[in-house]
Structure 1
């Protein structure tokens, strides 16, 4: 089943394929299926027997070329499929067992701060990700890689080493045409480019994520990179570590976050669209 996450209409947003399996599959088979789907992420779900009230599923994510340890939009797509097709109305929470630990998805009421006609709101709870300083050796080509964009700061994520490049304006984030071949030579998986949202825009930050090493030149809307950007905003005191709305624009897609005091990020999914169904035998 293919699901478009962060979509205001069908065939938009960030697509993820979701497959529900009866038992664990061979890793090579899963990779070949993900390569065949050729979307940014393919999610594989296997239900676990659980004594807990919430249903629990093992969840793994694959890009067209490799497995990844965490993917937010494919987790949201998986939760959407389970809540709307498999689990029914009696379950409001589902747990995912992943290589990054237990992820929980909940059906929640529409927040007062969000105006939307969506009938289903899904919330994920992510820890924020620490940022580290970059050495000069790790970023010698960043200005050339970003084709001359005015770089303010460069950091890297503490988990997978993605480079986070703050540039001078949201307009530059939107207009930038990076050198994809140069990005492949950068440290980490890819490069996240970000800047604070301009006054009056309604957005806290703009961002884009380039990840050609995983056969994805640009991820349409990546919740992992947005979590990293929230950490960047906290680092610069642009966002307080307390319960408050945070709105992001990534490559034309609107996202909503809600901060909590223990430095965890509540991520809201407003809309998803199911494009097609594929049965696995």
Structure 2
């Protein structure tokens, strides 16, 4: 059996930047264990599988070690693959997933994710967090991913956490963020608990980051940059209980998996 795939650099307009994801457009679902093995074989932060069900596409996302409930950059990559590699017509693609429906629309040379807003809640700094991060938090907020505000963009760039200790915290990932220098805000995302030491650009993290920085900066539309050595740009807009997250994407390779 041959399975075609495309590798997309999401949140970038050039290769070798942004966040890479592999996308499989399947005619029918494979066994869960096989999809997990395929994701492990590619060994990227995310491998996405999409299947047409009725008028919408069903989407699932796998890290090298586990299936995850939501992934932004692999959704952007999936839409780009369907539009550019498979000739999907129209200006919007709807993706059904475990918690509802996501949409990706085209706005010029950008794709725009429509994701649910996640409002983080301030909490006391967890014991030992400063030592784990090697940086002193200015504020800490609770969400499915822990949001840690640092004093500056330079502190975000300098952050070198103890990944083994970070994986023991009761959150799927830890986002460090600060006000930006040339963009509105910057961030990095560490998720060793799900097999990703650092995710270069995390669309779903901006469901949390956007409402926080909208409140802090008093702006409804924000520019953002995420990443350490490799990263990408995003444009975020708060729409009530939804977040619009825009970015570019680029196909970097295509091939076939032999099973």
Q: TM-score, normalised by structure 1?
A: 0.84
2:11 is aligned to 6
Distance change in 2, residues 1:29/1:187 (3 Å)? same
SS where residue 245 of structure 2 aligns? strand
Q: Which residue in the other structure is 1:164 paired with?
A: 147
1:191 maps to which residue? 174
1:15 equivalent in alignment to 2:20: yes
Mapped contact 1:207–1:226 kept (Cα < 8 A):
no
- The CA deviation string for residues 106-163 of structure 1, in whole angstroms up to 9 with x for no partner, is 1223xxxxxxxxxx42111112111123356xx111111111x121111111xx2x21
1:175 Cα offset (Å) = 1.1
- From 102, 118, 128, the equivalent of 1:141 is 128
Give the secondary-structure state (helix, strand or coil) at the position aligned to 2:40.
helix
**Gapped regions of structure 2 (runs ≥ 5):** 1-5
Q: Are 1:126 and 2:115 matched, yes or no?
A: yes
What is the DSSP-based 3-state SS (H/G/I as helix, E as strand, rest coil) of the residue aligned with 2:204? helix
- Equivalent positions of 1:43-54 (< 5 A) are 43-50=48-55
- The verdict on how the C-alpha distance between 1:257 and 1:9 changes in structure 2, with shifts beyond 3 A counting, is closer
Give the alignment's Cα RMSD to 1 decimal: 1.8
Alignment partner, residue 71 of structure 2: 71
Match of 1:113 in 2: none
Tell me by how many angstroms 1:96 deviates: 0.5
For 1:58, the equivalent position in structure 2 comes to 58
Deviation at 1:69? 0.6
Deviation at 1:261, TM superposition (A): 4.2
Higher relative contact order (CA 8 A, sep 6+): 2
Deviations 1:148-183 (A, max 9, x none): x121111111xx2x2111111110001111111110
Q: Which runs of 5 or more residues in structure 1 are unaligned?
A: 51-55, 110-119
Question: SS state of the match for residue 168, structure 1?
Answer: coil
CA distance in 1, matches of 2:28, 2:232: 36
Distance change in 2, residues 1:12/1:257 (3 Å)? closer
Q: Is the 8 A contact 1:197 1:204 kept in 2?
A: yes
Structure with bigger gyration radius: 1
Q: CA deviation at 1:7?
A: 2.5
Q: Which among 128, 149, 153 is matched to residue 139 of structure 2?
A: 153
Output the CA distance in 1 between the equivalents of 2:254 and 2:85: 13
Given the two structures, how large is their TM-score scaled by the length of structure 2?
Answer: 0.91
Give the corresponding residue for 2:99: 100
Kindly tell me: are residues 29 and 210 of structure 1, through their superposed partners in 2, closer, same or farther at Cα, counting changes over 3 Å?
Answer: same
